[in-house]
Structure 1
Amino acid sequence: MSTIRRQSASVIGAVLALVLTSCAESESGTPTTSLPTTDSVATSSSGSSDDIPIDEPLDTTHLLEQPCTALAENDLTDLNLTAGELNEDTVSQVSNACKWAREDDSRSHADLMIMTENANGLEDIRDLNQDSEVLEEVQIGGYPALYASPTGRRDMGRCDLWIGVDDSTVAYVYVALHEVPDASDPCGFSDKVGEAIIANLSS
């Protein structure tokens, strides 16, 4: 990629990441025009992710148009989620989004969008959030990941999880929980969603 194209992609990625995180603040679920710590899973870790190499890049091409296939039927049962709803109208020109509502509270949900706009993947997300209130390095299924958002909203049942699946692609999982037990630990729930997605992509 030329320097001009790389800089252009980085600018687009910066705008996208900021819009994604900003839109995730809303209460309305997966937006119609844009998308939005726990050790309960053995392969999750609160350790640093910035030095984790991605030795086995994951192919997420099919999730650009069909993100709801990221979770299998058994995952939905385990996570107490309903069938996913596709949203084709996002800030990304190449990626659709998926929203899975909770069985026990339709206002609670987990969203997924595959981000390809950032040329340097998770590194760009990390750089964009250096001044954010939340920037925490984690690992999901052996892959580098971040909790990152301008403001801390875990006490509101919100969590923004970004997983690096290759050197230029990030899986963005946004969780908004209300009247459900997991609301007290939304990032713990986002970990479980992320783990299931990584496990399916790795199989």
Structure 2
Amino acid sequence: MSITRRHSSSVVGVATLALLLTSCAESESGTPTTSLPDSGSVSTSSTQSSGDIPIEEPLDVTHLLDQPCTALTDEDLADLSLADGELSDRTISQAAESCIWKRSNDSRSHVSLIVMTENSDGLEDIRDQNQDAELYEEIEIGGYPALHTSRWDDRDSGRCDLWVGVNDSEVAYFYVTLQEVPDASKPCDFGDKVGEAVIANLTS
């Protein structure tokens, strides 16, 4: 698997995460929320909940801070119809870089990963910051607590935000945007598949 690394001349705080991630795609309105939204209704999942799932085996994701593209194997990329990952050309975290994998059959469709270290209480902070988000679902990814949550619910537009609590202070954040591909109608399902693959690699 080849990885293209690009360097940024500036370090951007977590407050600009949404703006910078969406710059990787064409005019996207679905953005992650890392602070308390102003308004919106809460949508919760009735079949799965991660609120009471403890992180019994915290994962060491230190290597993903500067090598996020190693989170998926060549086999994963083939199974998910993704091209080789590329590091973002902008630093969107004070401690980590992000990786973008484009769909091999539609370069406008992609999924990105970044390990968020800015929230000292990990996924619990993401919960607190997004209680009033339009999209809010507690789920489970590979035995770890996770959320689908974002200020606006843009699933009908092929976008989804997935946050997975990998330890008590760090969160693996996945941003999915799908266009002309079959999975576009269920972007969160596709994000979950990517998350499951990453967690499986981290626990193997």
Question: How far did residue 58 of structure 1 move?
Answer: 0.7
- 2:94 maps to 93
- 1:63 maps to 64
- Looking at structure 2, the residues matched to 93 and 141 of structure 1 have their Cα atoms a distance apart, in angstroms, of 27
Describe the superposition over 1:70-105 as per-residue Cα deviations: whole angstroms up to 9, x where unpaired. Answer: 000000000000000012522211100000000110
Match of 2:183, SS state, is: helix
Gaps of 5+ in 2: 1-12, 33-45
- 1:76 maps to 77
- 1:20 maps to 17
| Partners of 2:20 and 2:92 within 8 A in 1 | no
- Looking at structure 1, the residues matched to 16 and 132 of structure 2 have their Cα atoms a distance apart, in angstroms, of 16
Q: Map of 1:1-203 to 2, 5 A cutoff?
A: 16=14, 19-21=16-18, 23-24=20-21, 26=22, 28-29=24-25, 46-87=47-88, 89-203=90-204
Letter in 1 for 2:161: D
Go from structure 1 to structure 2 and tell me whether the alpha carbon gap of 1:88 and 1:27 turns closer, same or farther (over 3 Å shift).
Answer: closer
| Partners of 1:54 and 1:166 within 8 A in 2 | yes
Describe the superposition over 1:7-65 as per-residue Cα deviations: whole angstroms up to 9, x where unpaired. Answer: xxxxxxxx72x5434555x36339xxxx96xxxxxxxx951111100000111000000
Describe the superposition over 1:98-127 as per-residue Cα deviations: whole angstroms up to 9, x where unpaired. Answer: 000001100000100000110000000000
Describe the superposition over 1:163-199 as per-residue Cα deviations: whole angstroms up to 9, x where unpaired. Answer: 0000100000010000000000000000000000000
Letter in 1 for 2:17: L
Match of 1:188, SS state, is: helix
Letter in 1 for 2:25: G
| Partners of 1:21 and 1:160 within 8 A in 2 | no
TM-score with structure 1 setting the length: 0.81
Q: CA RMSD in A?
A: 2.1
Match of 1:54, SS state, is: coil
Aligned residue pairs total 176
TM-score with structure 2 setting the length: 0.81
- Looking at structure 2, the residues matched to 59 and 29 of structure 1 have their Cα atoms a distance apart, in angstroms, of 30
Go from structure 1 to structure 2 and tell me whether the alpha carbon gap of 1:130 and 1:22 turns closer, same or farther (over 3 Å shift).
Answer: farther
- 1:12 maps to none
Go from structure 1 to structure 2 and tell me whether the alpha carbon gap of 1:141 and 1:46 turns closer, same or farther (over 3 Å shift).
Answer: farther
Match of 2:102, SS state, is: strand
From the two aligned structures, give the one with the greater helix fraction: 1
